[in-house]
């Protein structure tokens, strides 16, 4: 159990007036030691707090005068103060096992913590969920939650998680839904294991056992060159097409029975199958946008000016592991997240850096807009290799290679989804690249502004 450490204190806030300073460790709030920022928020919502601090190794008691519900004005160093509940599954498709050696240690932390599901949208298998956890979820209203289903057949799920509790842990999903908790599900499809008839059976199982599930996303397996699992391989075009067909067929079944589509295929499946993305209304409000469902369609709407506000946050891969501020519970991508890019119209060519999948979405859009002065530079992911083509897993090493022979006087735009606290996954930073880049939020609205549209 670590103590929450104060990172910043808002000017003029109740915390500043009471004398709380950056670097202080909070021992207790009104006599209670918070375990995480969820309890922190509940405790700091009270009026007139008694705060027990540790400053420079010495104890200090302060009284904070504030109204009930008034923000305390303190940002703490992390979202979880006690130990993160780690995952005891051994899924052969787990991407943590496919990381190269030598990255920062926090990236190898494999969690299965329902609190991080609530705070960040991380998916939990519920294999370590307990009665006490259910009580807390219901008492404190912790929702929505995100659950990895993968298969509703107990034997298949046990095999995929490599954990005997995989056969029984979905009982907690049933309990959450029975108590009205909003839950979104996920199926990671591994070719030859839970696709085909097994996927059909899982969707039938959802309809039969979990019809009140809010949504279900079906996403493809990501395989890096570091995998040691012989059975893990990328989808073929025919397999991707079959998954899209299955999902769309079941969308109609769910609509007929429940009045909503419920299940959605990730954008990556449509790219793999060479199929056009569904219309915007087919995504029913884009509830799984952050998991790569409908992201291409919303980006198009934003870039073309049909949407004037970004669809929602997208924290990027591994953004949570290095801690995050309590406000929004998300680690900032850029060191200057509020800085707005102003287009320089004296530069002849603008280059947008993106992953190979992103280039297949963005390229046709720019061509349709007639922007001959803007080009897309796809960056191949040699760092992870395999079938990894998403922009969020680009690293400085690969971006530097792509930029090496590019014109020095062009303007380069870098999406912030591949950054966490200003650094790439390989530990390098934009300042290390051979060309200066402008970091732009990863949405069509921000890119439209950066291009001066």
pTM, rounded to two decimals: 0.90
Cis peptide before 203 (omega within 30 of 0): no
pLDDT at position 324, please? 47
Look at 108-122, 332-346, 390-404, 421-435 and tell me which has the smallest mean pLDDT: 332-346
Res 251 pLDDT > 70 = yes
Q: For 281-330, how does the pLDDT look when each residue is reduced to its tens digit (9 = 90+)?
A: 999 999 999 899 999 999 999 999 998 888 865 555 544 444 444 444 44
Q: Which whole number is the average pLDDT over 394-416?
A: 95
Helix (H, G, I), strand (E, B) or coil at 186: strand
Q: Look over the chain and give the mean of its residue pLDDT values, rounded to a whole number.
A: 91
Higher pLDDT, 105 or 179: 179
Both tokens of 208, joined, read: 């039969």
Contacts of 25 (CB under 8 A, 6+ apart): 3, 4, 5, 6, 53, 54, 55
Predicted pLDDT of residue 107:
84
Phi-psi region of 252 (alpha: psi -120 to 50; beta: other; left: phi over 0): alpha
Evaluate the CA torsion angle 390, 391, 393, 399 in order and state its sign: positive
Q: 6-76 has which CATH code?
A: 2.30.42.10
Confidence of residue 84 (pLDDT cuts 50, 70, 90): confident
pLDDT category, 359, cuts 50, 70, 90? Answer: very high
User: Which one, of 253, 273, 451, lies nearest residue 362 by Cα?
Assistant: 451
Which whole number is the average pLDDT over 82-102?
Answer: 92
CA distance 226 to 424: 19
Q: Which residue has the tokens 């104890």?
A: 59
In this predicted structure, what is the pLDDT of residue 445? Answer: 92
Architecture of domain 96-293: Alpha-Beta Barrel (3.20)
Query: What is the mean predicted confidence (pLDDT) over 53-66?
Result: 95
Rounded Cα–Cα distance for residues 281 and 322 (Å): 36
* Strand intervals (E) in 221-333: 263-265
CA-nearest of 433, 437, 434, 453 to 336 is 437
Query: CA 385, 387, 393 angle in degrees (round to 5)?
Result: 65
Report yes or no: 318 and 420 within 8 Å, Cβ to Cβ. yes
Beta-carbon contacts of residue 340 (< 8 Å; ≥ 6 apart):
449
Average pLDDT over residues 253-278: 97
pLDDT of residue 422: 87
User: Helices 171-178 and 131-140: crossing angle, nearest 10°?
Assistant: 30
Closest CA to 324 of 140, 79, 28, 69: 79
For residues 362 and 303, give the distance between their C-alpha atoms in angstroms, rounded to a whole number.
Answer: 9
Residue 317 has which token pair? Answer: 């891969």
Judge contact between 439 and 407, C-beta under 8 A.
Answer: no
Supply 256's token pair: 């007929």
Residue ranges of domains in the chain: 6-76, 96-293, 350-450
Angle at 88 between CA 87 and CA 91, to 5 degrees: 85
On the question of pLDDT at 333 being above 50, the answer is no
Confidence category of residue 343, pLDDT binned at 50, 70, 90: low
pLDDT tens column, 139-191: 999 999 999 999 999 999 999 999 999 999 999 999 999 999 999 999 999 99
Nearest residue to 295 via CA among 332, 272, 270, 322: 270
Look at residue 175 in the predicted model and tell me its pLDDT.
98
CA angle 47, 49, 55 (to 5 degrees): 155
- Split at pLDDT 50, 70, 90, the class of 331 is very low
User: Among 98-107, 202-211, 220-229, whose mean pLDDT is lowest?
Assistant: 98-107
- Over 60: is that where the pLDDT of 335 sits? no
Contact 377, 396 (CB under 8 A): no
pLDDT digits (tens, 9 = 90+) for 408-423: 999 999 999 998 888 9
Average pLDDT, stretch 27-35? 95
Cα dihedral 347, 349, 351, 357 in deg (nearest 10): 160
Band of pLDDT at residue 83, cut at 50, 70 and 90: confident
Dihedral angle over CA of 412, 362, 382, 274, nearest 10: -170
Q: Cα–Cα–Cα angle for 319, 320, 322, nearest 5°?
A: 90
DSSP-assigned letters across all residues of 333-345: SSSSTTPPP---T
Confidence at 368, pLDDT banded by 50, 70, 90: confident
Distance of alpha carbon 214 from alpha carbon 186, whole angstroms? 11
Interval 426-451 mean pLDDT: 94
């Amino acid at each position: 159990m670590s103590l929450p450490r104060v990172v910043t204190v808002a000017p003029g806030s109740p915390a500043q007036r009471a004398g709380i300073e950056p670097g202080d460790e909070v021992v207790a709030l009104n006599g209670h030691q918070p375990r995480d920022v969820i309890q922190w928020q509940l405790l700091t919502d009270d009026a007139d707090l008694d705060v027990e601090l540790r400053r420079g190794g010495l104890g200090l008691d302060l009284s904070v005068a504030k109204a009930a519900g008034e923000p305390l004005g303190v940002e703490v160093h992390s979202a979880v103060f006690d130990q993160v509940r780690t995952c005891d599954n051994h899924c052969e498709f787990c991407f943590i096992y496919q990381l190269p050696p030598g990255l920062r240690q926090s990236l190898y932390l494999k969690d299965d913590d329902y609190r991080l599901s609530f705070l960040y949208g991380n998916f939990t298998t519920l294999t370590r969920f307990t009665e006490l956890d259910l009580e807390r979820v219901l008492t404190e209203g912790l929702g929505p939650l995100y659950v990895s289903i993968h298969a509703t057949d107990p034997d298949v799920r046990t095999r995929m998680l490599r954990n005997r509790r995989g056969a029984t842990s979905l009982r907690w999903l049933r309990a959450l839904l029975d108590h009205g908790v909003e839950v979104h599900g996920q199926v990671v499809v591994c070719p030859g294991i839970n696709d085909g008839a097994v996927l059909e059976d899982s969707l039938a199982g959802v309809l039969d056992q979990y019809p009140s599930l809010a949504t279900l996303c079906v996403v493809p397996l990501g395989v890096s060159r570091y995998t040691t699992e012989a059975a893990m391989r990328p989808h073929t075009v025919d397999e991707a097409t079959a998954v899209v067909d299955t999902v769309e067929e079941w969308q109609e079944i769910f609509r007929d029975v429940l009045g909503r589509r419920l299940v959605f295929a990730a954008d990556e499946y449509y790219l793999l199958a060479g199929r056009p993305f569904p219309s915007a209304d087919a995504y029913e409000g884009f509830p799984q946008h952050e998991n790569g469902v409908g992201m291409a369609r919303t980006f198009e709407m934003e870039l073309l000016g049909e949407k004037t506000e970004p669809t929602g946050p997208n924290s990027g891969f591994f953004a949570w592991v290095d801690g995050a501020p309590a406000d929004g519970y998300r680690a900032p991508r850029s060191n200057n997240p509020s800085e707005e890019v102003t287009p320089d119209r004296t530069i002849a060519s603008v280059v947008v850096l993106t992953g190979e999948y992103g280039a297949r979405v963005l390229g046709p859009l720019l061509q349709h807009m007639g922007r001959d002065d803007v080009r897309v530079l796809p960056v191949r992911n040699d760092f992870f290799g395999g079938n990894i083509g998403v922009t969020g897993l680009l690293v400085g090493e690969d971006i530097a290679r792509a930029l090496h022979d590019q014109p020095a006087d062009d303007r380069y735009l870098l999406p912030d989804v591949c950054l966490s606290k200003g650094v790439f996954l390989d530990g390098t930073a934009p300042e290390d690249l051979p060309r200066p880049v402008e970091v732009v939020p990863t949405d069509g609205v921000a890119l439209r502004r950066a291009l001066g549209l």
